[in-house]
Amino acid sequence: MEASFDTEESFDDPVHVSHRSPPGAMSPARRQTREIKETRITVNCVTFPVPGEGPEQQLLKPNDWSYCDYFWADKKDPQGGACTPGFEVLLQKQLKGKQMQKEMAEFIHERIKIEEEYAKNLSKLSLSPLASQEEGTVGEAWIQLKKSLHDEAEVHLKFSNKLHSEVEKPMLTFRSDHFKKDLKKYDHHIADLRKQLASRYAGVEKARKALADRQKDLEVKTQQLEVKLSNKTEEDIKKARRKSTQAGDDLMRSLDLYNQTQSKWFEEMVTTSMELEKLEVDRIEWIQQHLRQYTTLRHETDMFNQSTIENVDQLLQAVDPAKDRDLWVKEHKTGDVRPIDLDI
């Protein structure tokens, strides 16, 4: 991971740049005596405050655990591979959410298949000839019980159809095929800004090195003149000082460009992460709505199933063994004259 530190006197803070002297004009004595204090650290071309230094940052959306507050740094790979940008983590969450929703729809589809198969088997069983010769009040109850299987099969078939139209299909079609394309647009936009930031940071480092070289050259020439080890003229010293000052100006311009680019990236990160956050809220609420519809349909199925069995309950309560015996005897009697003793 690429990281560098800035000091309290560094020039990468756009708020304070206009109040400072060009870095190339700083005297060697001042550079040697100033106190070095690390206040900023740059990681992967993004500059952060050093923890514990400077005023504490306030969250953009306190107490919300919002996307816009917690994904600024890159995520380290435990295996030592390339880091994952925080924004990429948010995109992966969106893709995972779509996959989870797809799997939920597949689950509901399997539930539908079970209902359809169950309805088919119930309907088939309702046509069974078993015990069809039962008579009397028990026979009537038995016929109604078999009919209730057919009615129950219809209930489960309607349940499966509603599951398809009101739960499975909406969950599959909630996010269109353009969803992944939209995520790629977000990804490319933020990635492009991050590349621009890396380019600006490279420019800062290049300008920083150029300034260091110019200052070193100025120091060497100044020291040579002081100890009279060279015949350099005062004009040579002025020329070196001008070059050093110019290098300082170049560094400040590079810092301004870097900070402007980082500010743009920051703004787009906040805006886009909030859009992704809203998309996730919409997804969860959509799932909640349609899983509630599942439970509603399930309750309705239980209610309708209960109604199919009510007639069976009534006929079973009306079963009368004496009445059944009367009916059967009347239909199947062979004679009511009883035998008597034989007489010679």
∠ Cα 334 338 339 (to 5°): 115
Banded pLDDT at 237 (limits 50, 70, 90): confident
For the segment 107-147, what is each residue's pLDDT rounded down to a tens digit? 999 999 999 999 999 999 999 999 999 999 999 999 999 99
Q: Is the pLDDT of residue 254 over 90?
A: yes
Residues 39-52, mean pLDDT to the nearest whole number: 90
Banded pLDDT at 7 (limits 50, 70, 90): very low
Distance CA 210, CA 61 (A): 41
Mean pLDDT is lowest, of 28-37, 82-91, 294-303, for 28-37
Banded pLDDT at 38 (limits 50, 70, 90): confident
Distance CA 214, CA 236 (A): 13
Angle at which helix 86-126 crosses helix 136-163, to 10 degrees, equals 160
Q: In what order do the strands lie in the sheet with 3-7?
A: 3-7, 38-43, 46-49
